[in-house]
Amino acid sequence: MKKTHDVNTEEIVNEQAPDNFSYCFKTDCASADKCLRALAARNLNREKVNLRIINPLVVNAAGEASCPYFRNVERVHVAYGFKRALAKIELGKVKSVRTAIKALVCQRNYYYLQRGDKPIYPQMQKKIENILHLHGLPLPVEFDRYEWHYKWNEES
């Protein structure tokens, strides 16, 4: 589930970009007010000491469609935990569900995801939902909780 919304630049300061996110400091870009890279750069705080930046000399100031580095300000619905969904699976099928999900991630990450310690991004949500559905859980599958996160990277 994707959502594009009005930009709250204070919120961008408070939600930290991942270390592999590239910032854009092209101040004369036509799309600077709606590009996540430019807004994040404009609203940096002192917590980030080292940054990845896109060379302003290679950014097309025409913006959006002309710039390959443009990143729309978009949020994704991120899930946390699937303990409650797993509890609805028939006891005899739980081991099979665990095995199938562990085939997607390592064993340690399986438990982090199950408990809600790590976020489950939309692509992984679909995979887990399909596994749970194949084992008898009706759709839609409800994860333990949800949050909206900025789509910092393509895999988010």
| Domain ranges (residues) in the chain | 2-72, 75-150
What pTM does this model have? 0.76
**What is the per-residue DSSP string for 57-113?**
GGS-TT-GGG-TT--B-EEEEEEE--HHHHHTS-GGGHHHHHHHHHTTS-HHHHHHH
User: What is the predicted pLDDT for the residue at 126?
Assistant: 97
Most confident of 41-45, 48-52, 114-118: 114-118
Residue 148's H or E segment, with its range, is: strand 145-150
Give the number of other Cβ atoms within 10 Å of residue 23's Cβ: 18
Mean pLDDT across 33-58: 89
User: What is the predicted pLDDT for the residue at 7?
Assistant: 53
Higher-scoring residue by pLDDT: 20, 12: 20
Euclidean distance between CA atoms 16 and 8, whole angstroms: 14
